[in-house]
Amino acid sequence: MYIIAGLGNPGPRYEKTRHNMGFDTIDSLVTEYRIPSSGVRFHSMVGSGLIGGEKVLLMKPLTYMNLSGNAVGEAVRFYKIDPETQLIVISDDIDLEPGRIRIRKQGSAGGQNGLRHIIAQLGTDRFTRIRIGTGAKPEGWDLADWVLSRFPDGDRKLVDEAIGRAAKAAAVIVTEGADRAMNLYN
């Protein structure tokens, strides 16, 4: 079984913002693999189903970004999964240009507070993450205002394509492993 957690903030105010690309990728997986909602569990909107014959739990934590570890940690402990081989976390990344994705099997939070909280709650940074680029914060912008803003139309198309690639990468991780996904999508 795999847990795939897409990070973001709940509510209409945050839809389609830079910080919600994890949520958007989970929505793409739900549509592509027809994974039904199972309601609220582990402080998250969840859905269970199959990707390539493998059981998955899709999560959109309702804890808000900075406390994502509460939701992810609870699900990891409940299912007794190994985060290193059975957890995929999808988040935004200000160090990547819009339209780019990066897959890693471990590493620091890189300034992403949701990842930082997950690492703290799990006690390890050894889990697969897919990061989707938001582009760097422009000079004079507050970081929170930047990540909670929406993309201009020109970047939105690139981001939507990146979200689709991130969903495909998550499926490859589940079916063929993280190394294969990194070879295809990094």
pLDDT of residue 153: 83
- Alpha carbon distance 168, 171 (integer Å): 5
Q: Which of 6, 9, 19, 25 is catalytic?
A: 19
pLDDT of residue 59: 98
What is the reported pTM? 0.95
- Rg of the chain in Å (alpha carbons): 15
Chain center to CA of 132: 8
- Alpha carbon distance 22, 31 (integer Å): 14
pLDDT of residue 146: 87
Q: How many domains does the chain contain in total?
A: 1
Helix (H, G, I), strand (E, B) or coil at 152: coil
pLDDT of residue 54: 96
Mean per-residue pLDDT over the chain, rounded: 94
Looking at residue 73, which CATH number applies to its domain? 3.40.50.1470
pLDDT of residue 118: 97
pLDDT of residue 91: 96
Q: Is 43 a catalytic residue?
A: no
For residue 46, give its domain range.
Answer: 2-185
Question: Phi and psi dihedrals of 40, rounded to 5?
Answer: -105, 125
pLDDT of residue 152: 87
For the chain, how many helices (H) and strands (E)? 7, 7
CA nearest neighbour of 25 among 171, 139, 186: 171
pLDDT of residue 180: 97
125 Cβ partners below 8 Å, 6+ apart? 106, 107, 108, 109, 119
pLDDT of residue 126: 96
pLDDT tens per residue, range 155-172 = 889 999 999 999 999 999
pLDDT tens per residue, range 69-122 = 999 999 999 999 999 999 999 999 999 999 999 999 998 988 899 999 999 999
- What does each C-alpha distance from 115 to 36, 56, 90, 155 come to in angstroms? 26, 20, 9, 24
pLDDT tens per residue, range 28-67 = 999 999 999 999 999 999 999 999 999 999 999 999 999 9
pLDDT tens per residue, range 137-157 = 889 888 888 888 898 888 889
